[in-house]
Chains A and B, each alone.
Chain A
Amino acid sequence: MNASKTPGLIRERQERMAPYLLIAPAVIYYAIFWLFPVLNAISGSFLSAPLKQGGEWTLKNYAAVFTDSMFYRALINTAIIVVVSVSLEFVLAFALALLINKKFRGSSLFLFLAIIPMSLPAVAVGAMWNSGLATNGWLNSALVHLGILGEAEKIPFLAGGQGANILLIILVDAWQVIPFMMIILLSGMQGLKPEMAEAGRVFGGTRWQVLHKITIPMLKQTIVTAMILRIIAAIQIWLIIVMIFGFNRLPVLMEQIVVNVDLYTAETFFRKGMALSVLVALIVSLASVAYLKASGALGAKKEEAS
Chain B
Amino acid sequence: MTTLTLTNLAKRYSRSVWGVRSMSLDVKDKEFVVFLGPSGCGKTTCMRMIAGLETVTRGRIILKGQDITDLPPKDRGVSMVFQNYAIWPHMNVYDNIAFALRLKNVDRKELNQRVKKVAQMVRIEPLLKRFPGQMSGGQQQRVALARALAVEPRLFLMDEPLSNLDAKLRVSMRTELKTIHQESGATSIFVTHDQSEAMSMADRIVIMKDGEIVQTGTPEEVYFQSANTFVAGFIGTPPANFFPVEWKNGKLEHPRFQLSPPPALHQAIENHGKNRLILGVRPESIQVVREEEALFIAPVLVVEPQGSHQIVAVQVEDEVVKLIMPPACGVQPGELLPLTFDSTRLHLFDEESQLRIPGY
Contacts and interface: CB of A to CB of B under 8 A. Distances in A.
Interface in A274-291: none
A204 B82 contact: no
A195 B82 contact: yes
Contacts of B51: 202
Contact of A204 (B86, B88, B103): B103
B73 A202 contact: yes
A213 B102 CA distance: 12
A201 B95 CA distance: 16
Contact of A199 (B88, B92, B95, B103): B88
Interface string A165-203: 000000000000000000000000000010110111111
Nearest to B53: A198
Contacts of A218: 88-90
A196 B104 contact: no
Contacts of B88: 196, 199-200, 214, 217-218
A303 to B, nearest CB: 7
Interface residues on B, range: 20 to 34
Contacts of A201: 52-53, 72-74
B91 A199 contact: no
B79 interface: yes
Contacts of B79: 202-203
Nearest to B82: A195
Interface in A285-306: 303, 306
B84 interface: yes
A199 B140 CA distance: 14
Chain A, interface SS category = helix
B99 interface: yes
Given A201-B52, A204-B74, A209-B103, A217 B90 contact: yes
Given A198-B53, A217-B90, 15 more contacts: A195-B82, A195-B83, A195-B86, A201-B52, A202-B52, A202-B74, A203-B74, A204-B74, A204-B99, A204-B151, A205-B74, A205-B99, A213-B99, A303-B90, A306-B95
Interface of B: 51-53, 72-74, 78-80, 82-84, 86-92, 95, 99-100, 103-104, 147, 151
28 contacts: A193-B86, A195-B82, A195-B83, A195-B86, A196-B86, A196-B88, A198-B53, A198-B86, A199-B80, A199-B82, A199-B86, A200-B88, A200-B99, A202-B51, A202-B52, A202-B53, A202-B79, A202-B80, A203-B74, A203-B103, A204-B151, A205-B99, A206-B74, A209-B103, A218-B88, A218-B90, A303-B92, A306-B95
Interface of A: 193, 195-196, 198-206, 209, 213-214, 217-218, 220, 303, 306
Listed from nearest, the 8 A-B pairs whose CB atoms lie closest are A195-B86, A203-B100, A204-B103, A199-B86, A201-B73, A204-B100, A217-B90, A204-B74
